[in-house]
Amino acid sequence: MNRNNKIAIIGLGYVGLPLAHAFSFKYEVIGLDINQDRIDELKNGFDRTKELNETQVKEAIKNGMKFTTNIEDTKNCNIFIVTVPTPINSENEPDLTPLIKSSATVAKVLKKDDIVIYESTVYPGVTEEVCVPELEKYSGLTFNEDFYCGYSPERINPGDKTHTVTKILKITSGSTPQIAQKVDELYKNIITAGTHLAPSIKVAEAAKVIENTQRDVNIALMNELAQIFDTMDIDTNAVLEAAGTKWNFIKLTPGLVGGHCIGVDPYYLTHKAQSLGYTPNLILGARQINNSMSQLIAQKAIKYMVKSDIKLKGADVLILGVTFKENCPDMRNTKVTDILKELKEFECNVDIYDPWVDKSDLDAKDLPFVDNSILETKKYDSIIVAVAHDEFKQFSMDDYQKLSKSNPIIIDVKGIVSNPTWRL
């Protein structure tokens, strides 16, 4: 592999920044993002996603990495790696706008023999059927003659400091056999866990989208079992612990399914399947179950407040945690906000406390944030433990009692409270 390759990383979020950091030890790297505030923060060594600490960001800068919002600064690069988000719209349909726009942007500086590699999660066919036409249109170059493409799906687990980018086996692929080998060798230089060279871009795209679809379906089963056992007055966690003693039982737990992957990726696959005339009932059913869990949790809080003769209108409810998972500041597609919305329908006063999220981020989403000073004085009718941050795992029943107006009504979503009123 040519060590003189110059790499441009397009999109410096949870995926792009750690990848850029890893590549900076081997190659000249330029990181591009459309958010000027993000670029300014990174230049000062601050990563608000907390995927990299200050030392690591400055380490990348010391290695020669540059941050920019101007695509012209990448014109001398010959490898472009696109790591932009692939969200869904309000109708749960894929929104490929960031991918299309980034492809058009890269095309402005695309040169002969350059390689464009996509890491964003998509349905099979997007790279060659959606992105490549944009690259050709705005560059005037011909695919697989003048420039080439690869696909190597991201497998970042936000907040996970063990399974970091270089320690997760990487799927690679390319638009020709020769380019596939080049893409594979490129990643082999930084991925200590190794690579798996897929036979085609479409295979690599499909492999990625089913990873999170499989997990979504499995969690949906746990969520449905939790609802069944709740009607039977059986402890779901006790059932799962007992069943988990069998060697081949898949150990998963019920809960909220949010984030930018598990709660989104299945819709990419179902969209493509339905466009071809196939209705993926199991996958869609799993999505319906998982999306309903926020309403169930809110209704449990309402039920126990009613049983305690607490007037719902004006009732004070505290939600502990708003991120989509524990020990990370990522609020993308969090289902905690759906709990908030449901409680607001009953005119409850709801506060959110999350030590992992900046107040400015909550204010931007118009979420009712409270800090430690308020928690020291305010009392609540009900507390919903929605996220298993390490800080919340340290809470004792005395701590919950201090937060409550009388006997604490505690709705435990994550199974971290010793004696909750109700546990999912």
Q: What is the pLDDT of residue 404?
A: 92
| Per-residue pLDDT tens listing for the chain (424 residues) | 456 799 999 999 999 999 999 999 999 999 999 999 999 999 999 999 999 999 999 999 999 999 999 999 999 999 999 999 999 998 999 999 999 999 999 999 999 999 999 999 999 999 999 999 999 999 999 999 999 999 999 988 888 888 899 999 999 999 999 999 999 999 999 999 999 999 999 999 999 999 999 999 999 999 999 999 999 999 999 999 999 999 999 889 999 998 888 889 999 999 999 999 999 999 999 999 999 999 999 999 999 999 999 999 999 999 999 999 999 998 988 999 999 999 999 999 999 999 999 877 777 778 888 888 788 889 999 999 999 999 999 999 999 999 999 888 999 999 999 999 999 8
21 in a structural domain: yes
Residue 204 domain-assigned? no
Last residue of a domain, one of 290, 310, 336: 290
Identify whether 364 is part of a domain: yes
Residue 107 lies in a domain: yes
DSSP 8-class letter at 165: G
* Cβ atoms of 146 and 177 closer than 8 Å: no
Does residue 154 sit in the same domain as residue 87?
A: yes
What is the pLDDT, as a whole number, of residue 1? 47
**Backbone phi and psi for residue 4, each to the nearest 5 degrees, phi listed first:** -85, 5
Contacts of 353 (CB under 8 A, 6+ apart): 318, 319, 320, 321, 369, 370, 371, 375
Which of 248, 274, 290 delimits the end of a domain? 290
Q: Is 169 helix (H, G, I), strand (E, B) or coil?
A: coil
Q: Are residues 388 and 250 in the same domain?
A: no
Is residue 167 included in any domain, yes or no? yes
pLDDT at 109: 97
Q: Do 30 and 75 belong together in one domain?
A: yes
Q: 160 and 108, same structural domain?
A: yes
Residue at 343 is within a domain? yes
List CB contacts of 187: < 8 A, sequence separation 6 or more. Answer: 152, 170, 172, 195
pLDDT computed for residue 163 by the predictor: 86
Q: Which sequence positions are flagged as catalytic?
A: 261
Shared-domain flag, residues 167 and 68: yes
- 256/331 same-domain check: no
CATH of the domain at 271: 1.10.1040
User: Among residues 199, 221, 238, which one ends one of the domains?
Assistant: 199
Tally of structural domains, the chain = 3
Domain shared by 228 and 270, yes or no: yes
pTM of the entire predicted model = 0.91
- Give the span between the Cα atoms of 382 and 120, in whole angstroms: 40
* Residue 301: inside a domain: yes
Q: Are 125 and 149 in contact (CB under 8 A)?
A: no
296 and 286 belong to one structural domain: no
On whether both 167 and 115 belong to a single domain, the answer is yes
Same domain for 327 and 380, yes or no, is yes
Q: Are residues 268 and 339 in the same domain?
A: no
What is the structure's pLDDT at 280? 97
Q: Is residue 354 part of a domain?
A: yes
Domain coverage including residue 24: 6-199
CB proximity list for 318: less than 8 A, separation 6 or greater: 350, 351, 352, 353, 370, 375, 380, 382, 383, 384, 403
Per the structure block, which two tokens stand in for 230?
A: 């709740």
Q: Which of the 8 DSSP states describes residue 147?
A: B
Q: Mark whether 272 and 303 lie in a shared domain.
A: no
Determine whether 340 is exposed, middle or buried from the number of CB atoms within 10 Å of its CB (0-12, 13-18, 19+). Answer: buried
SS3 state of residue 46 = coil
| Contact (Cβ atoms closer than 8 angstroms) between residue 220 and residue 285 | yes
Q: Which CATH number belongs to the domain containing residue 141 in this structure?
A: 3.40.50.720
